[in-house]
Chain A
Amino acid sequence: MATVKLTVNDRHVHADVEDRTLLVEMLREDLKLTGTHVGCDTSQCGACLVLLNGRAVKSCTTLARQADGAEITTVEGLAGPEGLHQMQEAFREHHGLQCGYCTPGMIISAIDMVQRHGNKLDEATIRHDLEGNICRCTGYQNIVKAIAAGAAAMSA
């Protein structure tokens, strides 16, 4: 066991975890931040995406101890006192979800996409960069619309 210290959604937190504990397990089970989901658990679906020092990573494929000292943003950390984050609002407005299971990962992936490519995202870029996020309900149509709109809104 070791104590892992993180800054999660701007809060300093810590937990005593086994060395084999995955980051997603620490987030969900120790810190009770269950917005980050485990979908496939085989590094393919992207439901577990979080921002680690600002970049999207698979929290099911990262050890908690590898993240020791890092800044983490989960879907719970996106909304502010003003309300939903622009990307969350865009998913709501454009109905970019059905069951919602993949949505936290989709939104983190979308924000990462804006950080990498800027606020003007064309459909081809969005579809290409969603290669690591799997949705089994929507057929992606409204997710792509939501990300384009959310990206544009983030520049405002």
Chain B
Amino acid sequence: MYETTYHRPANLDEALSLLGSADDGRFLAGGQTLIPVLKQRLDAPSDLIDIGGLDELRGIEAGDGAVTIGAATPHAEVATSEAVRQAIPALAGLAGMIGDPAVRHRGTIGGSLANNDPAADYPAALLALGATVHTNRRALAAEDFLDGLFATALEEGEIIVKVSFPVPSAASYRKFRNPASRYAMAGAFVAVMADGSVRVGITGAGAEGAFRPAEIEAALATHHSPSALDGITLDEDKMLGDIHGSQAYRANLAVVMTRRAVADLA
């Protein structure tokens, strides 16, 4: 790791002012992605501003048809939260499938979303549930927030404060993990919303990051059953391909994971 200067601000205002005065600062939350990146010298920020301990960014609230999670809330808290388990068990389950237990004790929902790794889990839920990302400046719909591989709509000096997930009437998340890295080769979050509409978020497979597959959502609109997906294929040219799996493999796997998630809903 290159030399850097660490700061532990007492509140969000101080954190933002530290970032503003840094040459090339980064927020540090759980650090489960950022610290490995720094160790590999893939990034060299002048300043690290530790927001992991800020109370105003933590906590989980359920009510008014939504679950709202503070940005610095670790995955383990989401996975074990009674409120999340009651309202959106698939979201608690998703949080409990990220990384491993020690990673879940440190890694945060805000950090994961701000990084927008194309194989991260939360973006699939964000899209499927139509979540809203609240920053220190504005509220962004999921589709407007996510902006391709490792990219988001966040601007300089903008930070995620909390994320609000509408409570669906049913939902399930299935993923196929790369057996070495444990990241999703393809993950599908399927949600039946309160109005009866079906929304799907696919992660791990899209060349532009997590996405909503229009052809799958259309097929599921009237029949919430795996057989509704018979004959449905995704355009493999829009998929990620690498040594772990070709584009055609991921296109197929995304449908298979969706099919399993839909079967869970029955």
- Write the residues of chain A forming the contact surface with B, with a CB cutoff of 8 angstroms: 2, 18-20, 22, 41-44, 46, 49, 52, 55-58, 61-63, 65-66, 68, 109, 112-113, 116, 129, 131-133
B32 at the interface (CB under 8 A from A): yes
B106 interface contact, C-beta 8 A: yes
Interface residues of B in 41-92 (CB under 8 A from A): 48, 50, 52, 76, 80
Taking a contact as CB atoms under 8 Å apart, the answer to whether B101 and A109 are in contact is yes
A-B contact pairs, 14 of them (CB 8 A): A19-B4, A22-B1, A43-B36, A49-B102, A55-B76, A57-B105, A57-B106, A61-B36, A61-B106, A63-B28, A113-B101, A132-B102, A132-B103, A133-B100
In contact, A65 and B105 (Cβ under 8 angstroms): no
Min CB distance B239 to A, Å, is 26
Tell me the residues in window 1-28 of chain B with beta carbons closer than 8 Å to chain A beta carbons: 1-6, 8, 28
Contacts of B103 in A (CB 8 A): 43, 58, 61, 132
Residue contact B28 to A55, C-beta cutoff 8 Å: no
Main secondary structure of the interface of B (DSSP, over half): mixed
B31 in the interface (beta carbon within 8 A): yes
- Which B residues have a C-beta under 8 Å from some C-beta of A? 1-6, 8, 28, 31-32, 35-36, 38-39, 48, 50, 52, 76, 80, 99-103, 105-106, 181-182
**What is the CB-to-nearest-CB distance from A1 to chain B, in angstroms, rounded to a whole number?**
11
CA distance in complex: A18, B35 (Å) = 15
Q: Nearest-CB distance from B103 to chain A (Å)? A: 7
Q: Is the CB of A20 within 8 A of B4?
A: yes
